[in-house]
Structure 1
Amino acid sequence: MSENNQLRDVFDAIADPTRRRLIRMLSEAEELPLHELTAQFQMGRTAVSKHLTILKEAGLVFDRKVGRETRFRLNASPLKEIQDWVAFYSKFWSSNMLRLKQLLEEEEQ
């Protein structure tokens, strides 16, 4: 786990399309209340809350109470772990694509 002392793996947290959609929604707003997030899905408040809990356990979401309302905001810093992982493999694909291009050019000659 990273320095954020995460309870859940970031890769696991973003594996679900609903959670990725929640991340996108939160990235486009400073903060959103649960009822606004829930309105964007064809599932109940409890199901959306469970997805938000998983994101929170991965350190991707912060929440705060405002009266009786719970508001959520994105913490994108744990996504750096994914960016680093993808960057490592993009080097692999870049070099392999370059080799494939060279082979194809050699065959054309």
Structure 2
Amino acid sequence: MTEEPRSAVDDVIGALADPMRRRLLDLLAAQGEVTATTLAAGLPVSRQAVVKHLAVLDAAGLVTSHRVGREVRYAVRPAALDATARWMAALASDWDRRLARIKRIAEAGERDSS
């Protein structure tokens, strides 16, 4: 993986490390395009805290925002999640290959010792 995509994955993983940001992302996915005020209404944190979390999610490429009159509406941007999921799948595939190789070596060793 090149340095630029790795940095994007790092940003996504860092943003998702916080449970409140994961919850906000879940709410945005379920509700569609909404304001920070709407999101904060159902959470145990202030609107200002929600806005700060949304800024982190935005910087990681996980949400997008646009102004509608006096309101700022937020929505999920799936591309960064997709790229991170692809990286994780590739990593899992590499480990699966390594573990399969270890298994083959161990099984061959068992046959040789019997």
TM-score bracket for this pair, using the shorter chain length: 0.7 to 0.9
Aligned to 1:67: 69
User: Is the helix fraction higher in 1 or 2?
Assistant: 2
How big is the shift at 1:89?
2.7
**TM-score of the two chains, using structure 2 as the length reference:** 0.72
Question: Larger Rg: 1 or 2?
Answer: 2
C-alpha separation in 2, matches of 1:80 and 1:63:
19
What is the Cα deviation at residue 93 of structure 1?
A: 4.7
How much has 1:97 moved relative to structure 2?
7.0
Which residue number in structure 2 is paired with residue 86 of structure 1? 88
Output one character per residue of 1:15-69: Cα deviation in whole Å (capped at 9) or x when no partner.
1111111111111233011111111211111111100000111111111122222
Identity %: 35
Deviates more, 1:91-100 or 1:51-60: 91-100
Aligned residues: CA RMSD? 2.8
* Moved segments of 4+, more than 4 Å: 97-100
Structure 1 length-normalised TM: 0.75
Q: Provide the secondary structure at the position in 2 that maps to 1:84.
A: helix
The equivalent of 1:26 in structure 2 is: 28
Cα distance in 2 between the residues matched to 1:97 and 1:39 = 49
* Aligned match of 1:15: 17
Matched positions, count: 103
Gapped runs of 5+ residues in structure 1?
Answer: none
Find the residue that maps to 1:64 and give its secondary structure.
strand
Over 3 Å counting, the alpha-carbon distance change for 1:46 and 1:97 in structure 2 is farther
